[in-house]
Structure 1
């Protein structure tokens, strides 16, 4: 296992299975001369990355013991420092709020929220030693009413709020926190944990809308994974600027990229009514209104 060269910056990225955002970020950081520590629950899938000089380690962000083992190995490899921590590991969750299985929701929070919190706490010492940068991969879902995605939206909203506070807590130690407000990006996340509507769901009336929603992120203004990675890494590697100038010149506190990112950012200036209206019609919930009105009409006729 190769390690960083003297003076070479290091980055640890979670959730690096090929085909996803984590893998693309690994390749882009590597191309920019940063020593990459790529992680996955099964490091065997990272063999090609190891072959080109990256360090590959096993890591399950939902397991305390796995995080500790990874931390200790990283500390040995880097000499007790870490320049970048990218919390990318995530789990999709598309299901109507009225059909949620709470045990399933807990698993999503374990990965998307508690895993992020645990990684930041565990690696804070290495980041403080290098005055590093934490990049938490959030989503536009953190601030949009992403229909049939209430559980996922809640996890990304939690990451955004947590990161905002973490930023202030770590500021005295010279550690920065960036939140990546990620739009639609080509990845494998929508292909995992395929859920179905229960037979008694109130949304069986518009089952086709739910089925379409399952892969929405991969079919609507979806940006190539590599293009997203190039933008994020380029921003992460910028020099530090004073707070008031960060958004234009330096490493951003809030990084917006991916499909719909610019439009959603713009819409936030007009109030939540605009996003509510847009998402309601985009998903097709007005069709459900028509179906319900027709059901009421039929009842009156009988």
Structure 2
């Protein structure tokens, strides 16, 4: 395993499955001259990245032993420093709130929230040594009523709240925290789970709308993971800087991806805008109509 040069930035990215954002982030960081540490539960899927000169390590963010082993290897190759930690590993979770399986929900939180927290805690001393940057991948779902995505929305909302406080706690040590409000991005990683409605689901009357929602992002996204990652890496590496005295570092919150600007604008106007638009977009007005037709309301 090669050692890194102290003159180049070292970047560790979690969740680098081919076809996903993490995979493309690794490529974009390397194009900008960074030393990239790509991680995945099964490192054999990262052979292409390894062949291009990246450091490839096994990592399961839900396993404390795996995190410890990964950190030990990172310390060895970087000399105990890490410039950028990108907490990208995450899973989708689409199912009505009335139909959730709590054990399934816990698994999603383990990856999306607890894994992110565990990685940040474990690697914080390396980030402090480099006065580095933590990049937490959130989503527009964290601030929108993304119908049938209550679990996923909750995990991303938790990331936002965690990051706000983390930013304050690590600032005295010279570490920055960035939250990426990710919009719609076209990915082809093949890791998404498509959950079926239970036979007794109260949403069976609009199952057609639910099935469309399962593939909504991949069918409507126009921005590729490659282009998204290229733009995001540009933002990550351009520095903090100040363009308005009352706002904080310009890169604390990055809104990027399909509908990102629209969602940000809508939050300024009021929550009722998103409530109204998404209620109709995902067919809840149709649900009302069908329930009335069946005499169920």
Instruction: Give the 5 Å matches for 1:97-246.
Output: 97-188=97-188, 192-242=192-242, 244=244
Q: What is the alpha-carbon distance in structure 2 between the residues aligned to residue 136 and residue 112 of structure 1? A: 10
Number of residue equivalences:
297
TM-score by length of 2: 0.96
Q: Matched residue of 2:38: which SS?
A: strand
Q: What is the alpha-carbon distance in structure 2 between the residues aligned to residue 221 and residue 18 of structure 1? A: 18
The reply to whether residue 264 of structure 1 matches residue 295 of structure 2 is: no
Q: What is the alpha-carbon distance in structure 1 between the residues aligned to residue 142 and residue 151 of structure 2? A: 10
Q: What is the alpha-carbon distance in structure 2 between the residues aligned to residue 25 and residue 247 of structure 1? A: 27
Against the structure 1 CA distance between its residues 25 and 224, is the aligned structure 2 distance closer, same or farther, given a 3 Å change threshold? same
Gaps of at least 5 residues in structure 1 are none
What residue in structure 1 maps to residue 10 of structure 2?
Answer: 10
Q: What is the alpha-carbon distance in structure 2 between the residues aligned to residue 13 and residue 131 of structure 1? A: 17
Contact 2:186 2:221 in 1 (8 A): no
Contact 1:163 1:177 in 2 (8 A): yes
TM-score by length of 1: 0.95
Q: What is the alpha-carbon distance in structure 2 between the residues aligned to residue 217 and residue 152 of structure 1? A: 14
What residue in structure 1 maps to residue 44 of structure 2?
Answer: 44
Aligned-residue offset at 1:137: 0.4
Kindly provide the CA deviation profile for residues 26-76 of structure 1, in whole angstroms up to 9, marking residues without a partner as x: 000000000000000000011111111100000000000000110111011
What residue in structure 2 maps to residue 283 of structure 1?
Answer: 282
Q: What is the alpha-carbon distance in structure 1 between the residues aligned to residue 292 and residue 73 of structure 2? A: 61
Gaps of at least 5 residues in structure 2 are none
Q: What is the alpha-carbon distance in structure 1 between the residues aligned to residue 34 and residue 61 of structure 2? A: 23
Q: Matched residue of 1:162: which SS?
A: helix
Against the structure 1 CA distance between its residues 159 and 245, is the aligned structure 2 distance closer, same or farther, given a 3 Å change threshold? same
Aligned-residue offset at 1:194: 1.6
Contact 2:17 2:189 in 1 (8 A): no
Q: What is the alpha-carbon distance in structure 2 between the residues aligned to residue 251 and residue 123 of structure 1? A: 24
